[in-house]
Structure 1
Amino acid sequence: MLKTCLPTLFLILVVSPARAAAPDVSGTEPTGIQTGQSADLALQGKPELPLSVVTDYPGLAVSVSEDGKSLHVDAAQAAAGVAFLRFHNPEGASDLIPLHIGLLPEVAEVEPNNHWRDAPNVATQTTINGVLHAGGEVDTFGCELEQGQTLVSAVDANTALASPMDAVLQILSPEGFVLEQVDDAYGNDPQLSFIVPTTGRYFVRLFAFPSAPNSTINFAGGKVYQYRLTLTNGPFIDHLFEGAEGQLNPHGWNLGEGLDVANTPGRHHYRRLLNLAQPADVITQSGEAPVPLTLKTRLQGNVAPRESVRFQITGTKSTALRIRVRAQALYSELDPLVQILDAEGKLLKEFDDVGRDNRDVDASWTPPADANYTLVLQDRFGHGGERYFFETLVEEDQPRADLTVTANHFEATVDKPLEIEVQIARAGLQSPLEITATGLPEGAKVTPVTSEPKGDSSKKVTLKIEHDGNAPFSGSIQILATIPDAPSEPIVATAPTKLTGVPTNSIWLTLPAKAKENIEEK
Structure 2
Amino acid sequence: MKQTVRPHCSPFCVVLCLFVATPASALAAPPTLTHLYPGGAQRGTTVDLTAGGAFEQWPVKVAVSGAGVTVSPAKDKGKLSVAVAKDAVPGVYWLRAHNDEGASGLRPFVVGTLPDVAEKEPNDDARKPQVIVGNVVVNGRLEKAGDVDCFGVALKKGQALVASLDAHSGLRSPADPILQVVSADGFVLDENHDFRGLDPQLAFTAPTDGTYVVRVFGFPSAPDSSIRFFGSEACVYRLTLTTGAFADHAAPLAVAKPEDAATVALDGWNVPKALRLEAAADARHATLFAPELANAVRVRVEKHPTFASVPADPKPPFSLTGRIAAGGAEVLVPFACKKGQPLTVQVESRAFGLAVNPVVRVLDQEKKQVARAEPAKLNGDTSLTFTPTADGPHTVAVSDLYSGGGARFVFLLRVAPPEPDYELTVAADRFTLEPGKPLSVPVKVARKGGFAKPVEVVAEGLPAGVKAEVTQPAKPDPNTVTLSLTTDVPVVAPFRLVGKVKDDPALTRTAAAPLADLDHATPDLWVTAGAAPPPKKK
Q: How many Å separate the matches in 2 of 1:305 and 1:395?
A: 27
Provide, for residues 386-438 of structure 1, a one-character-per-residue CA deviation record: whole Å limited to 9, x for no partner: 22222222221245443322332223221422233334444465748667551
- Amino acid paired to 2:80: L
Q: Is the 8 A contact 1:239 1:267 kept in 2?
A: no
Deviation, 1:132, is 1.0
**Given the alignment, which residue of 454, 457, 461 partners 2:477?**
457
Q: Is the 8 A contact 1:451 1:461 kept in 2?
A: no
Q: How many Å separate the matches in 2 of 1:463 and 1:161?
A: 33
Q: How many Å separate the matches in 1 of 2:41 and 2:519?
A: 23
Q: Is the 8 A contact 1:302 1:388 kept in 2?
A: yes
Q: Is the 8 A contact 2:127 2:184 kept in 1?
A: no
Q: How many Å separate the matches in 2 of 1:218 and 1:499?
A: 24
- Amino acid paired to 2:526: W
Q: How many Å separate the matches in 1 of 2:227 and 2:363?
A: 48
Q: CA 1:451–1:151 in structure 2 vs 1: closer, same or farther (change >3 Å)?
A: farther
Deviation, 1:179, is 1.2
Q: CA 1:282–1:153 in structure 2 vs 1: closer, same or farther (change >3 Å)?
A: farther
Q: Does 1:263 align with 2:290?
A: yes
Aligned residue in 2 for 1:319? 341
Aligned residue in 2 for 1:190? 200
Map residues 467-506 of structure 1 onto 2, 5 A cutoff.
Answer: 467-469=487-489, 472-481=490-499, 489-497=507-515, 500-506=518-524
Map residues 338-377 of structure 1 onto 2, 5 A cutoff.
Answer: 338-353=360-375, 355-377=376-398
| Percent identical | 34
Q: CA 1:85–1:240 in structure 2 vs 1: closer, same or farther (change >3 Å)?
A: same
Q: Is the 8 A contact 2:350 2:379 kept in 1?
A: yes
Q: CA 1:293–1:225 in structure 2 vs 1: closer, same or farther (change >3 Å)?
A: farther
Map residues 378-389 of structure 1 onto 2, 5 A cutoff.
Answer: 378-389=399-410
Map residues 247-286 of structure 1 onto 2, 5 A cutoff.
Answer: 247-261=263-277, 262-264=289-291, 269=296, 272=298, 277-278=300-301, 281-285=306-310
- Amino acid paired to 1:57: G
If the length of structure 2 is used for normalisation, what is the TM-score? 0.82
Q: CA 1:359–1:55 in structure 2 vs 1: closer, same or farther (change >3 Å)?
A: closer
Q: Is the 8 A contact 1:185 1:333 kept in 2?
A: no
Q: Is the 8 A contact 1:106 1:129 kept in 2?
A: yes
Q: CA 1:111–1:160 in structure 2 vs 1: closer, same or farther (change >3 Å)?
A: same
Aligned residue in 1 for 2:155? 145
Aligned residue in 2 for 1:391? 412
Provide, for residues 24-62 of structure 1, a one-character-per-residue CA deviation record: whole Å limited to 9, x for no partner: 122321111122211221221123334112224333332
Aligned residue in 1 for 2:10? none
> What SS does the corresponding residue of 2:169 show, helix, strand or coil?
helix
Q: How many Å separate the matches in 2 of 1:127 and 1:344?
A: 54
**5+ residue gaps, structure 1:** 1-15
> What SS does the corresponding residue of 1:447 show, helix, strand or coil?
strand
If the length of structure 1 is used for normalisation, what is the TM-score? 0.85
Provide, for residues 142-188 of structure 1, a one-character-per-residue CA deviation record: whole Å limited to 9, x for no partner: 11111110000000111111112221111112211111111112221
Q: How many Å separate the matches in 1 of 2:408 and 2:517?
A: 22
Higher relative contact order (CA 8 A, sep 6+): 2
Q: How many Å separate the matches in 2 of 1:100 and 1:188?
A: 18
Deviation, 1:228, is 0.5
> What SS does the corresponding residue of 1:222 show, helix, strand or coil?
coil
Deviation, 1:337, is 1.1
Q: How many Å separate the matches in 1 of 2:340 and 2:134?
A: 58
Deviation, 1:229, is 0.5
Q: How many Å separate the matches in 2 of 1:187 and 1:451?
A: 42
**Given the alignment, which residue of 243, 249, 252 partners 1:233?**
243
Q: Does 1:466 align with 2:491?
A: no
Aligned residue in 2 for 1:3? none
Q: How many Å separate the matches in 1 of 2:161 and 2:476?
A: 56
Q: How many Å separate the matches in 2 of 1:433 and 1:67?
A: 51
Deviation, 1:297, is 2.8
> What SS does the corresponding residue of 2:359 show, helix, strand or coil?
strand
Q: Does 1:73 align with 2:82?
A: yes
Q: How many Å separate the matches in 1 of 2:168 and 2:175?
A: 6
Aligned residue in 1 for 2:255? 243
Q: Is the 8 A contact 1:159 1:499 kept in 2?
A: no
Q: How many Å separate the matches in 1 of 2:397 and 2:339?
A: 20
- Amino acid paired to 1:363: L
- Amino acid paired to 1:346: K
Q: Is the 8 A contact 2:420 2:449 kept in 1?
A: yes
Q: Is the 8 A contact 1:421 1:460 kept in 2?
A: yes
Q: CA 1:332–1:38 in structure 2 vs 1: closer, same or farther (change >3 Å)?
A: same
Q: How many Å separate the matches in 2 of 1:40 and 1:300?
A: 42
Question: Which has the larger displacement, 122-131 or 415-424?
Answer: 415-424
> What SS does the corresponding residue of 1:117 show, helix, strand or coil?
coil
**5+ residue gaps, structure 2:** 4-26, 278-288
Provide, for residues 192-219 of structure 1, a one-character-per-residue CA deviation record: whole Å limited to 9, x for no partner: 1001001111111111222222333332
Deviation, 1:501, is 4.2
Q: Is the 8 A contact 2:512 2:523 kept in 1?
A: yes
> What SS does the corresponding residue of 2:140 show, helix, strand or coil?
strand
Q: How many Å separate the matches in 2 of 1:27 and 1:265?
A: 29
> What SS does the corresponding residue of 1:390 show, helix, strand or coil?
strand
Q: CA 1:83–1:17 in structure 2 vs 1: closer, same or farther (change >3 Å)?
A: closer
Q: CA 1:484–1:83 in structure 2 vs 1: closer, same or farther (change >3 Å)?
A: closer
Aligned residue in 1 for 2:34? 26
Q: Is the 8 A contact 1:336 1:380 kept in 2?
A: yes
Question: Which has the larger displacement, 49-58 or 423-432?
Answer: 423-432
Q: CA 1:428–1:396 in structure 2 vs 1: closer, same or farther (change >3 Å)?
A: closer
> What SS does the corresponding residue of 2:130 show, helix, strand or coil?
coil
Q: How many Å separate the matches in 2 of 1:506 and 1:341?
A: 43
Map residues 301-316 of structure 1 onto 2, 5 A cutoff.
Answer: 301-306=322-327, 307-316=329-338
- Amino acid paired to 2:29: A
Deviation, 1:68, is 4.2
Q: CA 1:345–1:55 in structure 2 vs 1: closer, same or farther (change >3 Å)?
A: same
- Amino acid paired to 2:238: R
Q: How many Å separate the matches in 1 of 2:215 and 2:442?
A: 45
Q: How many Å separate the matches in 2 of 1:424 and 1:159?
A: 29
- Amino acid paired to 1:176: G
Q: Is the 8 A contact 2:436 2:486 kept in 1?
A: no
Root-mean-square deviation over aligned CA pairs: 3.1
Aligned residue in 2 for 1:99? 109
Map residues 161-172 of structure 1 onto 2, 5 A cutoff.
Answer: 161-172=171-182
- Amino acid paired to 2:158: G
Q: How many Å separate the matches in 2 of 1:476 and 1:267?
A: 34
Question: Which has the larger displacement, 221-230 or 506-515?
Answer: 506-515
- Amino acid paired to 2:53: G
Provide, for residues 302-342 of structure 1, a one-character-per-residue CA deviation record: whole Å limited to 9, x for no partner: 22113333222222222221111111111111111111111
For the pair shown, the structure with the greater C-alpha radius of gyration is: 1
Give the count of matched residue pairs: 491
> What SS does the corresponding residue of 2:351 show, helix, strand or coil?
helix
